[in-house]
Amino acid sequence: MDNNNSSTDNQSAEHQSTDKQTTELPLMGVRVLELGSLIAGPYAGSILAQFGAEVIKVEPPGSGDPLRKWRKMYKDTSLWWYSQSRNKKSITLNLKSEEAQKIIQELVQSADIVIENFRPGTLEKWNIGWEQLSAINPKLIMLRVSGYGQDGPYSSRPGFAAIAESIGGLRHLTGYPDRAPVRVGVSIGDTLASLYGVIGAMMAMHHLKNNNGVGQFIDVALYESVFGVMESLIPEYGMFGFIRERTGASMPGIAPSGSYTTKDDRYIVIAANSDSIFKRFMKAIGRSDLADAPDLAQNDGRAKRSDELDIAIQTWTSTLSLKAALEVLEKAAVPSSGINNAEDIFNDPHFHAREMIVEHPLSETDTISLPGIVPKLSLTPGKTKWLGPKLGEHTEEVLSSIGIDSTNVELLRRNGVI
């Protein structure tokens, strides 16, 4: 089930000679205790697991992580679960139980990172908060993901990605000006928080190793993760009182860049806003007059005539199918693309050549197609060793590592601790 085995087989001999891969993964030897659920937090654990960390996912007995039941199901398990929880070990613990809390305290002695995304104060109530765990393991790094952060007037509020995207400014900019704001098609607030969390954990590990540092916690708020990618939103308001609004598919002040319809009623996105690309683009569509216009040589001039440019581009795209338009633009080296749906992506040869869609056995008869691993390391690339595990599949294995034998495991199970 290693999704990198085929990559070296498919590479040319020349590529193999310059890109030798090892069997080791960059995070081998790193132990991660994941206490969170759903996306924010667990997605960070997923990234760490893909690059070799031993990620022990703690789930409630009986029900497990709610993600197991989200979106499309294969038999009784979410396909999303198989993807996001690949390479993780699943153990069950009722964290409200004193015995379970003691097990967490035992496990944290050998942990490098703890990931959690409970509402602030929840772990403290269960005696497994930062102060308690860092006292046990002073080198511990704790990734804490929450809606609003660990302090501040909103810290006790519950927070989901939809709320973070709204309070952080993203929703206000998404959609068309004459319609209500809409959501991005994925839970981008959650995944951004996880990505920031992984970055923070790696920086904390570097500090610990190279600067004679001690452990620390990383405070990641969902709304701040969204707010952090909002480009010039705040500088523009602070300087000019300018409030950025929804603009649909266009990019005001950057021209030409937008989406246009083709003869076969498809959408094509064209980004020709650099000076040299603009000239090539205009000549490719038969508009040398615009390519050579002195006032269109740079973006500030083009921005003033953006409506005119959009009309010229739309007039051209309306005469061609999507395929034909893309062929013209590719020949002219103009960045462009159709707007892909899942079927388009699944059938795109580039995704397969780059191993961004990889099949894994799901049962004796069925396979699952998973997204490939990002980023791609030349020497120690990540890999999928196994799919998202069954609930509690690794409970006995993990508990035995801290001296709990099978007899005591059964006792814990009867008492509802696991």
User: Residue 250 and residue 232: Cα distance in Å, rounded?
Assistant: 16
Whether residue 181 has a cis bond before it, omega within 30° of 0: no
User: Residue 171 and residue 82: Cα distance in Å, rounded?
Assistant: 29
Single-letter residue type at 215: G
User: Residue 410 and residue 416: Cα distance in Å, rounded?
Assistant: 10
Phi, psi of 13 (to 5 degrees): -60, -35
Q: What SS3 class is residue 92?
A: strand
Would you say 145 and 40 are in contact if contact means Cβ atoms under 8 Å apart?
A: yes
Would you say 65 and 82 are in contact if contact means Cβ atoms under 8 Å apart?
A: no
* Angle at alpha carbon of residue 235, lines to 233 and 238, rounded to 5°: 105
**Strand 73-74 to 77-78 pairing:** antiparallel
Secondary structure (DSSP) of 322-335: HHHHHHHHHHTT--
Whether residue 190 lies in the annotated active site: yes
User: Residue 95 and residue 99: Cα distance in Å, rounded?
Assistant: 8
Would you say 46 and 86 are in contact if contact means Cβ atoms under 8 Å apart?
A: yes
Close Cβ partners of 160 (under 8 Å, ≥ 6 residues apart): 147, 189, 190, 222
Question: Helices (DSSP H) in 260-402: which residue ranges?
Answer: 275-284, 288-291, 299-304, 306-317, 322-331, 342-346, 349-353, 395-400
**Of the residues 178, 190, 310, 348, which is catalytic?**
190
Tell the residue number behind the tokens 């860092």, with chain if given: 134
Would you say 111 and 66 are in contact if contact means Cβ atoms under 8 Å apart?
A: no
Would you say 175 and 182 are in contact if contact means Cβ atoms under 8 Å apart?
A: yes
Among 215, 182, 302, 189, smallest CA distance to 253 is for 302
Catalytic residue annotation: 190
